Structure 1
């Protein structure tokens, strides 16, 4: 039995199509709002949702719109646009939907919820965290490449969404400290930039110790900033940034035997930022590394490694191609930027 709530997936890209598709397959009332290209693909092929170890789900005729005009008011908007598009999305929501419609952000970064609350006063705005990558692999197929539970800000409305997600086969829970969860996810997402520079599946990247050490160093730099700012990055479940930094810093002979148990992901999974580079979309680096660097300046903590990685990723996006560096080559290039 599907949820009685009506959902609008605002920004139906990979994550939006996957989460919304699972809800729709379980009987929930879901409308997808997104780009014309995705709309045409789904109209032709339907929506298929695959998982690296679960059975695939197919939604033959999802309700997809490329305009907000004429849509019935949903109970909740699941906002899935890129962080750089949040302001424009807030303006569209304000124009088309009354304050009774709540908004739950399923976006990377920590600035979206404050921005939405300022732009949409008097409306229930909640934070949310998606712990896994989703890849659009063509012909309406969206693939979840790793495990994890969705986390929503604690609220009665979110509790109903958790129930709907669980009924749809999506692990989900609420948290009273969504800020800590989002910062924890942001620190883990600092690897998105490294994956752009590596141009290889995440599992292959993590088998290179130099890449693991760089990832751990990025996290520790971020943790130093957060400590100075009085912010605790809690992460989700057992996946805390401190634990990840310790784990990824260990030698190969210790890491390799553990990797199959630790890295529960599809062998071909890559970061969302790498996908953005391939499709010519703008990078979210300013909302990931950029958030750490801005807060570092505010609290007086230097962030040289995140600064350098930001520069290299911006160059890759300007060139439209990854430099495809090994971990050792990247370490050497970063050392020359001092």
Structure 2
């Protein structure tokens, strides 16, 4: 049976560990800072709509703290802008295959990449022989060290995964991970061409940065439509196809709904959580910034995404909180143009 080494102890990483624990699946969490202190000092407070569990987690600080074996699976659960450092750190970690044989993680162990954005899998493939990309839907919150909320009453989350570079979707490693996820209260589907699914998720994640800006619901909807329209233009110029979760997924998306944990305000997007925690950095450079990069490469203007990217970098670096800057302050008055809302 596999042991999962979950690198990153944010909302997703700790939710995975808690659900693995309930399913009897072995896991270790790699944490740092205040979160490591909180988890090493006591059990995780894990709240879902049905109640609160206290889950003791095995917590380490890095590769030096664990003896890896050939049965381990590395799960990279940090934010997109932190992934390359983690991948470099773990690629050379020693792996004991038997009493007389030793190798390194990059050559032997599969690595599962859970990041928003579309570039982590390519980065991972520079180091690791087997890269399993994943697109995850989970309404999880992590704001206070030692506490995680998952605001779903049915499955904890939905996961689409597949080996990076595979066009068939029949990878043995991805199928084994999917089977364990299903045991751990996640609905999971192995798909061919995981890049299509990651691109589709990126389009929805472009609004993460706008979520932290003050404004009305109408302003927010128009702003999200504007950055999405630029992304659509970039993808069209690149000739990129994207998956349609509603028509292509075998998972029951319609039954997956956010159900707030009692006594909370419900789920918030990941960038809002990072800013609220005072993390100092956010993943916007790998979301809206990815659209800006592609726009430069393909000659497609992306001014709204650029302004959002720059504003979020300033906000995170200054220690600002969600709502400290308005939508109009960042991208100006957003035209209420028919077509943008439906883009």
State whether TM-score is above 0.5. Answer: yes
- Counterparts in 2 of 1:69 and 1:165: CA distance versus 1, 3 Å: same
Look up the match of 1:192.
208
Residues 135 and 144, structure 1, Cα contact 8 Å, conserved in 2: yes
- Counterparts in 2 of 1:167 and 1:151: CA distance versus 1, 3 Å: same
Render the CA deviation track for 1:178-225: whole Å, top value 9, x for unaligned: 111111111111111011213xxxxxx7x7122112112221221111
CA distance in 2: counterparts of 1:274 and 1:319, whole angstroms:
15
CA distance in 2: counterparts of 1:238 and 1:48, whole angstroms:
36
Look up the match of 2:258.
264
CA distance in 1: counterparts of 2:293 and 2:259, whole angstroms:
31
CA distance in 1: counterparts of 2:12 and 2:238, whole angstroms:
31
**1:72 equivalenced with 2:67 (yes/no):** yes
- The alpha carbon displacement at 1:77 in A equals 0.4
Look up the match of 2:271.
273
What CA RMSD, in Å, does the superposition of the two structures yield over aligned residues? Answer: 2.8
**1:145 equivalenced with 2:151 (yes/no):** yes
CA distance in 2: counterparts of 1:314 and 1:304, whole angstroms:
16
CA distance in 2: counterparts of 1:33 and 1:278, whole angstroms:
22
CA distance in 2: counterparts of 1:280 and 1:139, whole angstroms:
12
CA distance in 2: counterparts of 1:47 and 1:322, whole angstroms:
25
Question: Which stretches in structure 1 are left out of the alignment for 5+ residues?
Answer: 199-204, 241-260
CA distance in 1: counterparts of 2:224 and 2:231, whole angstroms:
11
More helix by share: 1
Look up the match of 1:117.
125
What secondary structure sits across from 2:142 in the alignment? strand
Kindly tell me the number of residue pairs found equivalent between the two proteins.
303
CA distance in 2: counterparts of 1:239 and 1:211, whole angstroms:
28
Look up the match of 1:304.
303
Residues 152 and 173, structure 1, Cα contact 8 Å, conserved in 2: yes
Residues 144 and 277, structure 2, Cα contact 8 Å, conserved in 1: no
Look up the match of 1:245.
none
- The alpha carbon displacement at 1:277 in A equals 1.6
Look up the match of 2:138.
132
CA distance in 1: counterparts of 2:235 and 2:283, whole angstroms:
20
TM-score by length of 1: 0.80
Residues 150 and 171, structure 1, Cα contact 8 Å, conserved in 2: yes
Look up the match of 2:165.
none
Render the CA deviation track for 1:15-50: whole Å, top value 9, x for unaligned: 111112211221011111111422321233312332
**1:29 equivalenced with 2:26 (yes/no):** yes
CA distance in 2: counterparts of 1:293 and 1:36, whole angstroms:
32
Look up the match of 1:257.
none
TM-score by length of 2: 0.79
CA distance in 1: counterparts of 2:116 and 2:244, whole angstroms:
13
Of 85, 90, 95 in structure 2, the residue corresponding to residue 88 of structure 1 is 85
Render the CA deviation track for 1:198-253: whole Å, top value 9, x for unaligned: 3xxxxxx7x7122112112221221111011011221534599xxxxxxxxxxxxx
Look up the match of 1:255.
none
- Counterparts in 2 of 1:289 and 1:82: CA distance versus 1, 3 Å: same
- Counterparts in 2 of 1:40 and 1:66: CA distance versus 1, 3 Å: same
Render the CA deviation track for 1:46-67: whole Å, top value 9, x for unaligned: 123323x4454442x3211113
